[in-house]
A and B are shown apart, each in its own frame.
Chain A
Amino acid sequence: MTPRRTSVPDAPPAEELVVDPIACTGHGLCAELFPERVALDDWGYPMIHGSVSPDLHEHAVRAVKACPALALKLHRAR
């Protein structure tokens, strides 16, 4: 007998920040607004580290909306 599986509500899905490297011109606002997940490389272009948990969603959206080159996108993680 295996115990009945208790149903656990799915954790809210994490999201991924994605940079379009061609569109990005290195303004750097994303790193300014969202340092929790975006750092700049030695040439001023963003490096993303880690996925976006629900508690960071609003910060991520703010960074995406602020990008002057429309190069930053927030994707549902697969």
Chain B
Amino acid sequence: MTDRLLAGLHGRGPITLDRHRAIHGPLPDAGPDLIATVEAAGLRGRGGGGFPAAVKLAAVAEARRRPVVVVNGTEGEPMSAKDRALMRHTPHLVLDGAISAARAVGARDVLVAAPPDSAAVLAGALSERGELGSRHTPRITLTASAVGYVAGEETAVLAHLEGRPPLPRVTPPRPAQSGFRGRPTLVQNVETLAHLGLIARHGAAWFREAGTAARPGTMLVTVSGAVRAPGVHEVPVGTSLPEVLDRAGGATEPPTAFLVGGYFGAWVRPDAVGLALDDAVLRAHGAAVGAGVVVALGASSCPVAETARLATYLAAESAGQCGPCFNGLPAIAAVVERFATARTVRGDGERLTRWIDMVKRRGACAHPDGFARMLETATRVFRDDFEEHARTGRCARCHADPVLLLPRPARAAATA
């Protein structure tokens, strides 16, 4: 067991400030020196992109204007629950990370975007602390995050905090150069900041005691699907997939595939040798650790039906701004649906491959790229199932309960 972020969790409400200090000790103020420590620790962003945290910190710290820190707790990925788990159970660790980041880059303002229930817990934690807004402690403002798959993309979060629709914008400029109201802005995922709160206390060498040399530390995984104990678990980066399943109580039935990373991630075969939550290993399978999502698809589920539903959901979650995305994704999802129901028309096989390739790198954000990655790996891993469905249509497994959760599209929910 390597519980760092989840240390001392008892599952009965959030950890109080007194208890938090007893578990983790006082939070030192290293100021800008923390950036070098984070660089030595090798911490990477845990929101999905895996970008080195120190590079962002340094870019924001070097900017001329006074920067802003944004805590991204949006977690638009339906199969991920780790950020909400941190905010609800150990809110003070998240606040410590945000405060440390603000001190490191010289920010006076921290803006938190979090789902209402998580924001309420953070508000309670803030009220336990009295000293906020002083010279060494930033002001922290809580905002209810927007709903939707792409609402967690960092420029969409900034748009939301500025009072506009939560839509991604074209980059550059990156938020580090021009973010919230044009100010240099550090946008970090909740889990990334929680790690920062521990690195500030224990240093780089301690952080590297877990994980691999290239990807140090622990990470939170949200395991779901055909496992006995689905939920959020903390494991060292590089943990093998079988071990991850063990942490989640083991499989309830033989898995046919894993979805790794998130809905923008990749399907991998369970029989692939040496599978581990390590980008160096997963790269060979077209996959990445992403947001730490692992879905075990059991043998009783239909991979074609699951993939078709997921493609339709992701197509509907396009922000609707970029032509190749809002035209291409629904068109591709329709082809997948035709495969699932044995209604393919001449050329659909070639069309599917060509269109998946055609939408890559064509959007302002990475939504079409993630959609393409998921489908490319699905059609490879489930090739036989797709071919069988194209011949015979719906199978008995098609009627099994869906494994992949598909929230109602944000726009439909807003108008309902």
Using a CB–CB cutoff of 8 Å, the interface residues on chain A facing chain B are: 20-22, 24-26, 41-45, 47
* Residues of B within 8 A of A (CB-CB), count: 15
From B170, B331, B355, B358, give the contact of A21 (CB < 8 A): B170
Interface 1/0s, chain B 131-160, versus A by CB < 8 A? 000000000000000000000000000000
Question: B362 an interface residue at 8 Å Cβ cutoff?
Answer: yes
A42-B355, A42-B358, A47-B362 are contacts. A22–B324 as well, Cβ < 8 Å?
A: no
- A47–B358 alpha-carbon span in the complex (Å): 9
Using a CB–CB cutoff of 8 Å, the interface residues on chain B facing chain A are: 169-170, 321-325, 327-328, 331, 355, 358, 362-364
Instruction: Give chain B nearest CB distance to A67 CB in angstroms.
Output: 14
B322 close to A41 (CB less than 8 A): no
Instruction: Identify 29 residue pairs between A and B in the complex whose beta-carbon atoms are under 8 Å apart, listed by A's number.
Output: A20-B364, A21-B170, A21-B322, A21-B323, A21-B324, A21-B362, A21-B363, A21-B364, A22-B169, A22-B321, A22-B322, A24-B322, A25-B323, A26-B323, A41-B324, A41-B358, A41-B362, A42-B328, A42-B331, A42-B355, A42-B358, A43-B324, A43-B327, A43-B328, A44-B323, A45-B323, A45-B324, A45-B327, A47-B362
Contact partners of A20 in chain B: CB under 8 A = 170, 364
Contact partners of A41 in chain B: CB under 8 A = 324, 328, 358, 362
- A47–B363 alpha-carbon span in the complex (Å): 12
Instruction: Give chain B nearest CB distance to A42 CB in angstroms.
Output: 7
Contact partners of B325 in chain A: CB under 8 A = 21
Contact partners of A42 in chain B: CB under 8 A = 328, 331, 355, 358
Instruction: Give chain A nearest CB distance to B271 CB in angstroms.
Output: 36
Instruction: Give chain A nearest CB distance to B246 CB in angstroms.
Output: 43
Contact partners of A47 in chain B: CB under 8 A = 358, 362
A20-B170, A22-B170 are contacts. A45–B321 as well, Cβ < 8 Å?
A: no
In the complex, which residue of chain B has the Cβ closest to the Cβ of A22?
B321
Q: Total A-B pairs in contact (CB under 8 Å)? A: 40
From B327, B331, B364, give the contact of A22 (CB < 8 A): B364
The A contact surface, by secondary structure, is: loop
- A43–B354 alpha-carbon span in the complex (Å): 13
- A44–B327 alpha-carbon span in the complex (Å): 10
Instruction: Give chain B nearest CB distance to A14 CB in angstroms.
Output: 19
Instruction: Give chain A nearest CB distance to B172 CB in angstroms.
Output: 11
Contact partners of B170 in chain A: CB under 8 A = 20-22
- A21–B358 alpha-carbon span in the complex (Å): 14
A24 close to B358 (CB less than 8 A): no
In the complex, which residue of chain B has the Cβ closest to the Cβ of A41?
B358
Contact partners of B169 in chain A: CB under 8 A = 22
A24 close to B323 (CB less than 8 A): yes
Instruction: Give chain A nearest CB distance to B287 CB in angstroms.
Output: 26
Instruction: Give chain A nearest CB distance to B231 CB in angstroms.
Output: 38
Contact partners of B364 in chain A: CB under 8 A = 20-22
- A47–B170 alpha-carbon span in the complex (Å): 17
Known: A20-B364, A22-B322, A41-B324. 4 other contacts (CB 8 A): A24-B323, A43-B323, A45-B327, A45-B362
A21 close to B321 (CB less than 8 A): yes
- A18–B20 alpha-carbon span in the complex (Å): 50
Contact partners of B358 in chain A: CB under 8 A = 41-42, 47
Contact partners of B355 in chain A: CB under 8 A = 42
Contact partners of B327 in chain A: CB under 8 A = 43, 45
Contact partners of B324 in chain A: CB under 8 A = 21, 41, 43, 45
Contact partners of A45 in chain B: CB under 8 A = 323-324, 327, 362
Contact partners of B362 in chain A: CB under 8 A = 21, 41, 45, 47
Instruction: Give chain A nearest CB distance to B357 CB in angstroms.
Output: 10
- A44–B362 alpha-carbon span in the complex (Å): 13
- A20–B321 alpha-carbon span in the complex (Å): 11
Ordered nearest first, which 8 A-B pairs have the shortest CB separation?
A43-B327, A21-B322, A45-B323, A22-B321, A26-B323, A22-B364, A45-B324, A21-B364
